[in-house]
Amino acid sequence: MTGRGAVTLQEVARVAGVSPRTVSNVVNGYEHVAPRTREQVQAVIDALGYRANAAARSLRTGRTGLLGLVVPALDQPYFAELARAVVREATGAGFTVVVDQTDGDPARERELLLRGPRGAMFDGLVLSPLALSAGDLLAADPARPVVLLGERTVDTAFDHVHIDNVAAARAATDHLIGTGRRRIAAIGLQTEANTGRQRAEGFMLALAEAGLPAHPRLLRYVESFDRASGFAAMSAMLDDELRPDAVFCFNDMLAIGALRACLTRGLQVPGDVAVMGFDDVEEVQYATPSLSTVRPDRDAIARVAVARLLARVERRSAAGPAEDITVPHRIVLRESTGPA
């Protein structure tokens, strides 16, 4: 049949000995089809090579079968690994994921959130915002299926999936304090981004509880969470008379840069300076020395975010209250924070 054109739903029904409606129910995954009938129809679909008309199905159901995943930067290993986990979860549920990056541009984030030309193609959106304001979030359609990654900073109608950044940063700093370090630096403070502020809060809490000062010269702001910024910040601190004996970097790429700066100056890690990262991307297992870090449960983030999003796509809970879901994290200890 394929030689004279695409196989139609009606042909599948005729060969299987069922109605076209039954074939449609099997193709669209409806539950109320007898198992034996489903197997019979699926066998004919496979044998004939039938492919559903996606455009027609979209017109009929009002859905595209596409979910959007919007992140600040795909060259950040954390977001690349998160994207892989989200794709795996969504594919298992029969959806295709389109991944977009915003580079932290507020206009691009607004376009996707507010159903601009690109945002309108998605049945639902998982969004990791970097630059959206409270006004942007409040202006969004509350009925639109959206899940936000990160702590709630304004009372919106959208679900939030996140780790406890304050607690995680506090635990990471506590570990450095527990190894006997007393001049502990932080790289990654930011004036705008919520993540940087929350991790700074946890860092400061741990120092205060231990009775240690937060030296202004050991607190380094960055524009980006990348290797170059970590290298530059660490190099500047090593040029200062008040050298740190430990540094907590607010992500692993900053920590990789800081490691390189220490090794360039001939310092031993962790002998002279202990280094702690955040995210536990695969790369840090193979750094020299291997990097201690905070590990968010990325699989749990992906699983919960996709499940919440699909629940709203299916309108099982579209009108329900927004939820905040906190997923676990843990401290992973490696060579870079050995005992002082």
> Residue 337 domain-assigned?
no
Mean pLDDT (whole number) for 44-51: 83
In three-state secondary structure terms, 249 is strand
Q: Give yes or no: residues 112 and 181 share one domain.
A: no
Q: pLDDT at position 120, please?
A: 63
Q: Is 179 exposed, middle or buried (0-12, 13-18, 19+ CB in 10 A)?
A: middle
CATH at residue 230 = 3.40.50.2300
Alpha helices in the chain (DSSP H): 9-16, 20-27, 35-48, 54-61, 77-92, 106-113, 134-139, 165-178, 194-210, 227-238, 252-264, 298-313
Range of the domain at 127: 66-162+298-328
Phi-psi region of 180 (alpha: psi -120 to 50; beta: other; left: phi over 0): left
Q: Give yes or no: residues 173 and 282 share one domain.
A: yes
Q: How far is CA 69 from CA 80, 102, 136, 149, 306, in A?
A: 11, 11, 18, 10, 10
Q: Give yes or no: residues 311 and 273 share one domain.
A: no
Q: Give yes or no: residues 274 and 310 share one domain.
A: no
Residue of 173, 138, 133, 147 lying closest to 82 (CA atoms): 147
Mean pLDDT (whole number) for 112-127: 73
Q: Give yes or no: residues 204 and 88 share one domain.
A: no
> Residue 338 domain-assigned?
no
Q: Give yes or no: residues 74 and 147 share one domain.
A: yes
Mean pLDDT (whole number) for 142-169: 86
Q: In this prediction, what percent of the chain has a pLDDT beyond 90?
A: 50
CATH at residue 26 = 1.10.260.40
Q: pLDDT at position 55, please?
A: 46
Q: Give yes or no: residues 187 and 272 share one domain.
A: yes
Q: Give yes or no: residues 220 and 311 share one domain.
A: no
> Residue 334 domain-assigned?
no
Q: What is the mean pLDDT of the chain?
A: 86
pLDDT in tens, 243-299: 999 999 999 999 999 999 999 999 999 999 999 999 999 999 999 999 999 999 999
> Residue 145 domain-assigned?
yes
Of the pLDDT bands very low, low, confident and very high (cuts 50, 70, 90), residue 317 is very low
Q: How far is CA 128 from CA 45, 67, 76, 231, in A?
A: 39, 14, 13, 26
Q: pLDDT at position 137, please?
A: 80
> Residue 60 domain-assigned?
no
pLDDT in tens, 189-243: 988 778 889 999 999 999 999 999 999 999 999 988 999 999 999 999 999 999 9
pTM above 0.95, yes or no: no
- 219-221 and 184-189 beta bridge pairing: parallel
> Residue 2 domain-assigned?
no
Q: Give yes or no: residues 156 and 178 share one domain.
A: no
Mean pLDDT (whole number) for 62-83: 86
Q: Give yes or no: residues 133 and 172 share one domain.
A: no
Of the pLDDT bands very low, low, confident and very high (cuts 50, 70, 90), residue 106 is confident
Indicate whether 340 pLDDT > 80: no
Alpha helices in 17-53 (DSSP H): 20-27, 35-48
Q: Give yes or no: residues 302 and 291 share one domain.
A: no
Domain total in the chain? 3
> Residue 135 domain-assigned?
yes
Q: Give yes or no: residues 170 and 270 share one domain.
A: yes
Indicate whether 81 pLDDT > 90: yes
Please work out, in degrees rounded to the nearest 5, the angle formed at the alpha carbon of residue 87 by the alpha carbons of 9 and 154. 115
> Residue 309 domain-assigned?
yes
What span, in angstroms and rounded, lies between the C-alpha atoms of 284 and 295? Answer: 11
Mean pLDDT (whole number) for 83-99: 88
